[in-house]
Copies of this chain bind each other. A is one copy, B any other.
């Protein structure tokens, strides 16, 4: 019981890697919001392997059908549902893996939890494929937020030891988002992107994989969105972001760097500017006491290396209860962080939209 999210909207994601379809239901969306299917389509494309030469060779087109919730081009107040049929499924790629859990995948934990009844093909419900409906939900939330001039963007901050630039935490803008998205890899510094590409191709050739980091920003939120304690924006965003497979860490603002800072360095001063209260810096990452401060929300996530690698690894045969070896064949991303960029944006969009709809009903 875990694939739903939200207090003010209720997002419910379903499907397995090789089930008939995957999809999402969102209940509680405001009526009257125009839904641009092309926007959703373009957003999905950013995560789709079909459009990314650096990704897996599994070529799902991810064409979705809206089953409900939209009437005459607008959200109609009824639950939104969209599905994607699974087409390019090759379950036989996975059959030999059924008794030999892939290291650092959910095969083993799922087997123990569901007692062998879990869908074993392609990771079942734990597959990265489930981020497609997550992205649909995120795109719908982005369409709602955009009406209030709230935007979300992310870029690859790092692959292995190659660093991209960071967003300016005070002045990051929608233009910065657009620039980062322009090109094969979502990076600010296109030269760094080229190096990253070389690294990825090199680890792919080795049958290996590599980790990455993603930086995400939310701009345009008014002051006071969010709630104290357990429903603060940090809580809500992290509860959504860890739904993206391979995320192993999240930090807001100066995050882990805060450990080494003094209060006098870390504290962000208030100032009057143009007759308004502003904050001079953004170590706090746009969130104070769980509530938005009016500054950009800045967070970074650590993405582990894709656990599916062709290199031989040690595992066990759960039937025979003996040691075994495994080489994960099939079609895998050498650096899952690349395709995770829109997924992180989507998770953030869902979290922020849920909080924002409590703050201010759009209709």
Contacts and interface: CB of A to CB of B under 8 A. Distances in A.
A359 B352 CA distance: 20
B323 A260 contact: no
A258 interface: yes
Of the listed residues A27, A271, A275, A292, the one surrounded by the most CB atoms of chain B closer than 10 A to its CB is: A27
A12 B3 CA distance: 12
A154 interface: no
A268 interface: yes
Contact of A272 (B261, B294, B322): B322
Given A1-B227, A211-B266, A76 B114 contact: yes
B361 A361 contact: yes
Nearest to A360: B361
A270 B78 contact: no
A226 B348 CA distance: 22
Interface string A22-46: 1101011001100000000000000
A255 interface: yes
A124 B290 CA distance: 14
Contact of A363 (B5, B115, B243, B306): B115
B13 A79 contact: yes
Given A2-B229, A3-B27, A10-B4, A234 B247 contact: yes
Interface of A: 1-5, 7-10, 12-16, 19-23, 25, 27-28, 31-32, 65-69, 71-72, 74-81, 83, 101, 103-106, 108-110, 112-115, 117-120, 124-126, 130, 158-161, 203, 208-213, 223-224, 226-232, 234-236, 238-240, 242-243, 245, 247-272, 275, 277, 280, 283-285, 288-294, 302-309, 311, 313-316, 318, 321-323, 358, 361, 363
Smallest CB-CB A-B distances: 5 pairs: A106-B289, A2-B227, A1-B28, A249-B251, A2-B231
